[in-house]
Amino acid sequence: MSDPLSATFAALADPTRRAILARLALGETSVTELAEPFDMSLPAISKHLKVLEHAGLISRGREAQWRPCRIAPTSLKQVDGWLGNFRRFWDESFNRLDGYLQELKANEMVHAAGQTKQRGRVRKEKQRGRKSG
Amino acid sequence: MDAKVDKTLKITTPSDLEFAMTRVFDAPRHLVFDAMTKPEHVRRWLGSAEQAVLGCEIDLRVGGGYRFTMRSAGGVASMLQGTYREIARPERVVFTERFSMPGFTSEEYQVKSSFVEAGGKTTLTTTILHDSKENRDGHLNSGVEKGVAPAYDRLAGVVAAMA
């Protein structure tokens, strides 16, 4: 699974799946329409579609009940540059981290100041205790 | 009192198998370390306009795992996951990592982050070690253009020709 193309090639190893892709290259269609030329049940076709979808070769619409299937040439290219753009991902993240660190620093200072105040109060109370006792 | 901090992200290639990212933060290193290793902190900053981080699980102990799930602006789900190998707060953390998305899973690589503090500022150096130059280049994305993308383009061409 570690080879980037293995899922794609595994998906393409089957002649039915290649035929499905060839049909989808003509335009999007429903599962029922796709199943027509094949001597296969709908669940069997659905299984093939799942493999193709997992390999990123097709996408399935959610906008309609019949979930149109279409070939996904853009998803084929999305591997390019992982994370969209590696550098931009970290650059933007670290810029946000700058702001967040200032928040953490401020929290820590407030916390430290609170502790000093509390220690002072305890000392005073102890002194008071000694005087009265 | 503050000298200007150069917040540029610098990327270098110390060897054929590695690349390194260096970034300076205006905060002591224990805060930078925690911000990068505690999920309640990571959720607050990790992610970009084109890659939103949806989930973040971290089991911060040697042998413990972590998993960040993401979704691109185009709706493609992906995941970064790995296992902690060394935890030396606040100096250093080492873990393995793998990136995956539908149709693509990267090789496992090693990530080492070191935190060096001076004058209240922290220099974070993250070194990413791959087991081949091709994978290193792929990660830096120059190699992907040369390697995988044309392969996919050819594939798309073959599929179109079958119609």
Output the pTM of the full model.
0.62
Instruction: Please report the residues numbered 87 through 126 in chain A whose beta carbons come closer than 8 angstroms to any beta carbon of chain B.
Output: 87-102, 104-105, 108
pLDDT at B151: 45
Q: Return the beta strands (E) in chain B as ranges.
A: 10-15, 18-25, 51-58, 65-72, 77-88, 92-101, 104-105, 109-118, 121-129
Count of H-run helices and E-run strands, chain B: 5, 9
ipTM, 2 dp: 0.82
- What pLDDT, in 10s, does the model give residues B57-101? 999 999 999 999 998 877 788 899 999 999 999 999 999 999 888
* Rounded Cα–Cα distance for residues B114 and B125 (Å): 5
More confident residue, B77 or A120: B77
Are the C-beta atoms of residues B108 and B81 closer than 8 Å to each other?
no
Q: Mean pLDDT across the stretch A113-131?
A: 68
- What pLDDT, in 10s, does the model give residues A56-103? 788 887 766 677 888 775 444 444 444 446 778 888 999 999 999 999
Give the three-class secondary structure for B16: coil
* Rounded Cα–Cα distance for residues B80 and B97 (Å): 7
Instruction: Please report the residues numbered 137 through 156 in chain B whose beta carbons come closer than 8 angstroms to any beta carbon of chain A.
Output: 138-141, 144-145, 148-149, 151-153, 155-156
**B10 beta partners:** B22
Give the three-class secondary structure for B74: coil
Distances (CA, A) of B50 to B53, B72, B74, B126: 10, 5, 8, 22
pLDDT at A106: 94
φ, ψ (nearest 5 deg) of residue B131: -95, 0
Comparing alpha-carbon positions, the chain A residue that sits nearest to B11 is: A87
Distances (CA, A) of A121 to A107, B18, B77: 21, 55, 54
- What pLDDT, in 10s, does the model give residues B13-32? 899 899 899 999 999 999 99
Query: Would you say residue B12 has pLDDT above 80?
Result: yes
- What pLDDT, in 10s, does the model give residues A7-45? 776 787 788 887 888 777 777 888 888 888 888 888 888
